[in-house]
Protein backbone atom coordinates (compact mmCIF):
# COMPACT_ATOMS: atom_id res chain seq x y z
CA UNK A 1 0.00 0.00 0.00
CA UNK A 2 1.29 3.44 -0.91
CA UNK A 3 1.87 5.61 2.14
CA UNK A 4 0.92 9.24 1.61
CA UNK A 5 3.71 11.69 2.39
CA UNK A 6 4.02 15.40 2.88
CA UNK A 7 4.96 17.12 -0.37
CA UNK A 8 7.54 19.85 0.01
CA UNK A 9 7.88 22.04 -3.08
CA UNK A 10 11.49 23.14 -3.47
CA UNK A 11 14.27 23.99 -5.87
CA UNK A 12 17.95 23.16 -5.46
CA UNK A 13 18.83 26.85 -5.42
CA UNK A 14 16.21 28.32 -3.06
CA UNK A 15 17.67 29.36 0.32
CA UNK A 16 14.16 29.58 1.82
CA UNK A 17 13.42 26.02 0.74
CA UNK A 18 16.83 24.95 2.03
CA UNK A 19 15.94 26.00 5.57
CA UNK A 20 12.88 23.71 5.56
CA UNK A 21 14.83 20.87 3.94
CA UNK A 22 17.50 21.05 6.64
CA UNK A 23 14.83 21.08 9.38
CA UNK A 24 13.21 17.99 7.82
CA UNK A 25 16.55 16.17 7.80
CA UNK A 26 17.58 17.24 11.30
CA UNK A 27 14.21 16.04 12.64
CA UNK A 28 14.54 12.67 10.92
CA UNK A 29 11.38 13.24 8.88
CA UNK A 30 12.59 12.45 5.39
CA UNK A 31 10.66 9.16 5.25
CA UNK A 32 7.47 11.26 5.57
CA UNK A 33 8.42 13.93 3.04
CA UNK A 34 8.57 13.86 -0.73
CA UNK A 35 10.61 16.75 -2.09
CA UNK A 36 9.08 17.98 -5.34
CA UNK A 37 11.47 20.07 -7.45
CA UNK A 38 9.67 22.87 -9.30
CA UNK A 39 10.53 26.06 -11.11
CA UNK A 40 8.28 28.66 -9.45
CA UNK A 41 8.65 30.96 -12.46
CA UNK A 42 6.76 28.40 -14.57
CA UNK A 43 3.76 28.71 -12.21
CA UNK A 44 3.23 24.93 -11.98
CA UNK A 45 -0.41 24.15 -11.09
CA UNK A 46 0.50 21.89 -8.14
CA UNK A 47 2.61 24.64 -6.56
CA UNK A 48 -0.10 27.28 -7.08
CA UNK A 49 -2.60 24.87 -5.46
CA UNK A 50 -0.34 24.70 -2.39
CA UNK A 51 0.69 28.38 -2.40
CA UNK A 52 -1.40 31.06 -4.12
CA UNK A 53 1.72 33.23 -4.32
CA UNK A 54 3.47 30.52 -6.33
CA UNK A 55 6.58 30.76 -4.13
CA UNK A 56 8.74 27.98 -2.74
CA UNK A 57 8.86 26.44 -0.26
CA UNK A 58 5.25 25.28 0.09
CA UNK A 59 4.11 22.24 2.02
CA UNK A 60 1.20 19.99 1.13
CA UNK A 61 0.37 18.12 4.31
CA UNK A 62 -0.09 14.35 4.51
CA UNK A 63 -3.00 14.69 6.98
CA UNK A 64 -5.29 16.62 4.63
CA UNK A 65 -4.71 19.88 6.57
CA UNK A 66 -4.39 23.17 4.71
CA UNK A 67 -1.18 23.54 2.73
CA UNK A 68 1.41 25.77 4.37
CA UNK A 69 3.47 28.59 2.97
CA UNK A 70 6.49 30.54 4.16
CA UNK A 71 9.73 28.94 5.26
CA UNK A 72 9.48 30.01 8.92
CA UNK A 73 5.98 28.61 9.34
CA UNK A 74 6.87 25.37 7.56
CA UNK A 75 10.02 25.03 9.69
CA UNK A 76 7.98 25.51 12.89
CA UNK A 77 5.39 23.00 11.70
CA UNK A 78 8.01 20.37 10.84
CA UNK A 79 9.72 20.98 14.17
CA UNK A 80 6.52 20.26 16.09
CA UNK A 81 5.88 16.88 14.38
CA UNK A 82 6.64 13.82 16.52
CA UNK A 83 10.35 13.01 16.35
CA UNK A 84 13.00 11.54 18.61
CA UNK A 85 15.41 14.29 17.55
CA UNK A 86 16.03 17.48 19.56
CA UNK A 87 13.64 20.41 19.03
CA UNK A 88 14.87 23.30 16.90
CA UNK A 89 12.66 26.00 18.44
CA UNK A 90 12.56 26.50 22.23
CA UNK A 91 9.04 26.00 23.59
CA UNK A 92 8.69 29.48 25.07
CA UNK A 93 10.19 32.31 27.05
CA UNK A 94 13.03 34.61 26.05
CA UNK A 95 14.89 31.65 24.49
CA UNK A 96 12.17 31.22 21.88
CA UNK A 97 12.12 34.93 21.11
CA UNK A 98 15.92 35.00 20.75
CA UNK A 99 15.86 32.12 18.25
CA UNK A 100 12.98 33.71 16.32
CA UNK A 101 14.87 37.00 16.17
CA UNK A 102 17.94 35.31 14.67
CA UNK A 103 15.66 33.42 12.29
CA UNK A 104 14.18 36.76 11.18
CA UNK A 105 17.64 38.23 10.68
CA UNK A 106 18.54 35.23 8.50
CA UNK A 107 15.31 35.33 6.54
CA UNK A 108 15.51 39.08 5.94
CA UNK A 109 19.12 38.67 4.82
CA UNK A 110 17.85 36.03 2.42
CA UNK A 111 15.20 38.44 1.10
CA UNK A 112 17.99 40.86 0.16
CA UNK A 113 20.02 38.14 -1.51
CA UNK A 114 17.08 36.97 -3.61
CA UNK A 115 16.19 40.57 -4.54
CA UNK A 116 19.77 41.06 -5.72
CA UNK A 117 19.63 37.87 -7.81
CA UNK A 118 16.47 38.99 -9.62
CA UNK A 119 17.75 42.52 -10.22
CA UNK A 120 21.11 41.26 -11.54
CA UNK A 121 19.22 39.12 -14.07
CA UNK A 122 17.86 42.24 -15.76
CA UNK A 123 19.80 43.81 -18.64
CA UNK A 124 22.60 45.96 -17.14
CA UNK A 125 21.14 49.22 -18.45
CA UNK A 126 17.80 48.52 -16.73
CA UNK A 127 19.16 47.54 -13.35
CA UNK A 128 18.20 49.89 -10.57
CA UNK A 129 21.39 51.18 -8.92
CA UNK A 130 19.49 52.72 -6.01
CA UNK A 131 18.00 49.39 -4.97
CA UNK A 132 21.13 47.34 -5.70
CA UNK A 133 23.07 49.66 -3.44
CA UNK A 134 20.34 49.76 -0.77
CA UNK A 135 19.97 45.96 -0.66
CA UNK A 136 23.76 45.51 -0.43
CA UNK A 137 23.95 47.95 2.48
CA UNK A 138 21.02 46.29 4.24
CA UNK A 139 22.69 42.91 3.71
CA UNK A 140 25.96 44.13 5.12
CA UNK A 141 24.24 45.44 8.28
CA UNK A 142 22.24 42.22 8.67
CA UNK A 143 25.45 40.17 8.39
CA UNK A 144 26.94 42.40 11.10
CA UNK A 145 23.88 41.70 13.26
CA UNK A 146 24.30 37.95 12.75
CA UNK A 147 27.97 38.27 13.72
CA UNK A 148 26.70 39.79 16.98
CA UNK A 149 24.61 36.63 17.52
CA UNK A 150 27.54 34.20 17.34
CA UNK A 151 26.98 33.06 20.93
CA UNK A 152 23.46 31.88 20.04
CA UNK A 153 24.57 30.56 16.67
CA UNK A 154 27.26 28.43 18.33
CA UNK A 155 24.69 27.03 20.77
CA UNK A 156 22.22 24.20 20.10
CA UNK A 157 21.10 23.91 16.47
CA UNK A 158 17.88 25.89 15.94
CA UNK A 159 15.64 27.27 13.22
CA UNK A 160 17.64 30.49 13.80
CA UNK A 161 21.04 29.01 13.08
CA UNK A 162 19.62 27.05 10.14
CA UNK A 163 18.11 30.21 8.57
CA UNK A 164 21.45 32.00 9.11
CA UNK A 165 23.39 29.26 7.31
CA UNK A 166 20.93 29.27 4.39
CA UNK A 167 21.23 33.05 4.09
CA UNK A 168 25.02 33.38 4.34
CA UNK A 169 25.67 30.41 2.03
CA UNK A 170 23.39 32.02 -0.55
CA UNK A 171 25.68 35.09 -0.68
CA UNK A 172 28.67 32.82 -1.36
CA UNK A 173 26.63 30.98 -4.03
CA UNK A 174 25.05 33.96 -5.83
CA UNK A 175 27.10 37.02 -4.91
CA UNK A 176 30.78 36.03 -4.66
CA UNK A 177 31.64 39.69 -5.40
CA UNK A 178 30.31 40.61 -1.94
CA UNK A 179 33.20 39.97 0.41
CA UNK A 180 31.51 39.56 3.79
CA UNK A 181 34.08 37.01 4.98
CA UNK A 182 37.00 39.41 5.43
CA UNK A 183 35.19 41.69 7.91
CA UNK A 184 33.55 38.75 9.71
CA UNK A 185 36.10 35.89 9.89
CA UNK A 186 34.53 34.27 12.97
CA UNK A 187 31.08 34.15 11.31
CA UNK A 188 32.69 32.79 8.13
CA UNK A 189 34.46 30.07 10.15
CA UNK A 190 31.16 29.17 11.84
CA UNK A 191 29.44 28.89 8.45
CA UNK A 192 32.19 26.63 7.08
CA UNK A 193 31.94 24.36 10.11
CA UNK A 194 28.15 24.17 9.91
CA UNK A 195 28.23 23.48 6.17
CA UNK A 196 29.92 20.15 6.88
CA UNK A 197 26.88 18.81 8.76
CA UNK A 198 25.13 16.14 6.73
CA UNK A 199 21.83 18.08 6.49
CA UNK A 200 23.61 21.11 5.03
CA UNK A 201 25.94 19.08 2.81
CA UNK A 202 22.90 17.29 1.32
CA UNK A 203 21.16 20.59 0.55
CA UNK A 204 24.09 22.65 -0.75
CA UNK A 205 22.68 24.87 -3.52
CA UNK A 206 23.48 24.01 -7.13
CA UNK A 207 22.19 25.08 -10.51
Ligand X SMILES: N[C@@H](CCC(=O)N[C@@H](CS)C(=O)NCC(=O)O)C(=O)O
Q: Return the number of the residue (13 or 140) whose C-beta is nearest ligand X.
A: 13
Q: What's the chain look like in SS3?
A: CCCCCEEEEECCCCHHHHHHHHHHHHCCCHHHEEEEECCHHHCCHHHHHHCCCCCCCEEECCCCCCCEECHHHHHHHHHHCCCCCCCCCCCCHHHHHHHHHHHHHHHHHHHHHHHHHHHHCCCHHHCCHHHHHHHHHHHHHHHHHHHCCHHHHCCCCCHHHHHHHHHHHHHHHHCCCCCCCCCCHHHHHHHHHHHCCHHHHCCCCCC
Residue 36 contacts ligand X per CB under 6 A: no
Which of 7, 21, 107, 174 binds ligand X (CB under 6 A)? It is: 107
Which of 40, 59, 171, 190 binds ligand X (CB under 6 A)? It is: 40
Residue 203 contacts ligand X per CB under 6 A: no
Interacting positions 110-149 with ligand X (CB under 6 A): 114
Q: Return the number of the residue (51 or 199) whose C-beta is nearest ligand X.
A: 51
The contact pattern for ligand X, residues 46-85, with x = CB under 6 A and - = no contact, is: --------xxxx------------xx--------------
Binding site for ligand X (CB under 6 A): 14-16, 40-41, 54-57, 70-71, 107, 114
Amino acid sequence: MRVMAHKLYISHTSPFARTTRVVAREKGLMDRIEEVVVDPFQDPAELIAANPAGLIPALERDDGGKPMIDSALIAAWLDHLPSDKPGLLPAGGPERLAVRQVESLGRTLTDKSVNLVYEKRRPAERQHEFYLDRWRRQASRLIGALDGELALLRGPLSVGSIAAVSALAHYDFRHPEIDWRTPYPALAGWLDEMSERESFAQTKPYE
